[in-house]
Structure 1
Amino acid sequence: MEFFLKHITWFLCITVLLPALCTSQYTYVSSRATYYGSPDCYGNPTGACGYGEYGTKVNDGQVSAVSRLYRNGTGCGACYQVRCKIPQHCSSDGVTTVVTDHGEGDRTDFIFSPRSYAKLANSPASSEVLFASGVVEIEYRRVACRFSGRGLVFKVHEGSKYPFYFALVIQYVSGINEITAVEVLQEDNQQWRPMRRVYGAVWDLQNPPTGPLSLRFQIASGRATAEVDWMQATKVIPADWEAGAAYPSDIQLD
């Protein structure tokens, strides 16, 4: 009887809890949102993710700062569908926004660029109402990032100092994926050297190898299943790399 009950319990956990875990990624979470001032209505070029200009206009400037979703930088680049809860003024689809910064608001999870915030509304007149209110009740869920026709871009951070100090930002991370570790191949001994997450989406390495740089990076699925895998980019950074330069690739993560 005890054996039977144990197996019944296990069966219920699989049939009841597992579907809930698998679908929880797609259920909406209630919260609040506000917006920050911007003269051009785009994002913040000095955001905590370290994206620079990429963080201002990626996703057509529909970007946001987040508080607890920032997760010490792991949440940088994640995409969320957000919609507000005023039926007469809010769009049914809301806005798909990309996380590019960290920020704290009045019990808010999202602080939008003006372009993002305006997309919550169902008309220009309703947009004025939302801006006047300053803070709105919302619901949000994690969704896949889509960058049509774009592979990963490996941006050498402006703070890099050739050839002694190398810092990197990986852009256009598509799907529901997060970069959780980055390593550089030391060609002379075929060993992978780990990079350090400096802050946000910025990784660095003192005294990087000479010659073209091969990278590998750990990808964690943002889904409830939390799958983890490694992907390699062979000689994706040229030997004469420059601070501020962006090196595109055809690597797709979804």
Structure 2
Amino acid sequence: LQVRCKDKKLCSGAGARVVVTDRARMKTNRTDLVLSSPAFAAMARPGMAARLTKLRAVDVEYKRVPCEYRGKNLSVRVEERSRAPSELAVRFLYQGGQTDIVAVDVAKVGSSSWKFMTREHGPAWSTRQAPAGPLQFRVVVTGGYDGKWVWADREVLPSRWRAGEVYDTGVQITDVAQEGCFPCDTQEWR
């Protein structure tokens, strides 16, 4: 997202680009985003970062923009709680473009028997039915209204995958989504 705060005395007009990993869904307030301190400070005008970060909460406007990870493919990080061979939890990294991963399947390389994974939060997915052996992944990405399958047509996780390791899928996602519909989308700040 491109995020900027509405206080023109403290904040720059450009705002800051941030990567959203999960959304704040608090019923106790109207918070849409929880930003890290560096991201919060990046919205400030020169010399105003300290004053802005002291506020801790500000009115913002934001718009969705494509993520760019130059020289990086979509990668899979095996989460620490994974237990080979069948209990597998992964987190996707370097998801380029302007899309959402809405479904993930895993299969042994060369097999057509795919096992679905369950979304836990943000980019984290898990299954207790991962097959043994080298593994491949396929994901459904959406950009606006449409979804499409994207998959690594090769081994992503080796037979002896390890928790904490990051594995390159060899896949690039660069699709750009329309916020609403074309030509309706005006790219306005919200």
Category of TM-score, reference length = shorter chain = 0.7 to 0.9
- Contact residue 86 and residue 132 of structure 2 kept, 8 A: no
- The aligned counterpart of 1:88 is 9
TM-fit CA distance, 1:131: 2.3
Q: Residue 220 of structure 1: which of 142, 145, 148 is its match?
A: 142
| Cα distance between partner residues in 2 of 1:166 and 1:236 | 13
Superimposed CA distance per residue, residues 139-165 of structure 1 (whole angstroms, 9 cap, x where no aligned partner): 111111111111111111111001131
| Cα distance between partner residues in 2 of 1:187 and 1:134 | 48
- Which amino acid counterpart does residue 151 of structure 2 have in structure 1? Q
Q: Residue 149 of structure 2: which of 218, 225, 230 is its match?
A: 230
- The aligned counterpart of 1:17 is none
Q: Residue 119 of structure 2: which of 197, 200, 212 is its match?
A: 197
- Which amino acid counterpart does residue 227 of structure 1 have in structure 2? D
- Contact residue 187 and residue 209 of structure 1 kept, 8 A: no
Stretch moving more, 227-236 or 132-141: 132-141
- Contact residue 23 and residue 33 of structure 2 kept, 8 A: no
| Cα distance between partner residues in 2 of 1:195 and 1:207 | 9
| Cα distance between partner residues in 2 of 1:212 and 1:132 | 49
Unaligned runs of 5+ in 1: 1-79
The aligned runs of 1:131-210 (5 Å cut-off) are 131-186=53-108, 190-210=112-132
- The aligned counterpart of 1:115 is 38
Unaligned runs of 5+ in 2: 175-190
- The aligned counterpart of 2:181 is none
- Which amino acid counterpart does residue 120 of structure 2 have in structure 1? V
| Cα distance between partner residues in 1 of 2:109 and 2:168 | 22
| Cα distance between partner residues in 1 of 2:138 and 2:83 | 21
Aligned residue pair count: 171
| Cα distance between partner residues in 1 of 2:137 and 2:74 | 12
TM-fit CA distance, 1:106: 4.5
- The aligned counterpart of 1:247 is 167
Superimposed CA distance per residue, residues 106-136 of structure 1 (whole angstroms, 9 cap, x where no aligned partner): 4221221110011111112x22222233322
* Higher fraction of helix: 1
- Contact residue 151 and residue 252 of structure 1 kept, 8 A: yes
TM-score, normalising length from structure 2?
Answer: 0.81
Q: Note closer, same or farther for the CA distance 1:204–1:106 as it changes in structure 2 (3 Å cut).
A: closer
SS in 2 for 1:143: coil
TM-fit CA distance, 1:98: 1.1
Stretch moving more, 202-211 or 234-243: 202-211
Q: Quote the sequence identity (%).
A: 33
Q: Note closer, same or farther for the CA distance 1:108–1:250 as it changes in structure 2 (3 Å cut).
A: same
- Contact residue 213 and residue 238 of structure 1 kept, 8 A: yes
- Which amino acid counterpart does residue 98 of structure 1 have in structure 2? V
| Cα distance between partner residues in 2 of 1:188 and 1:153 | 20
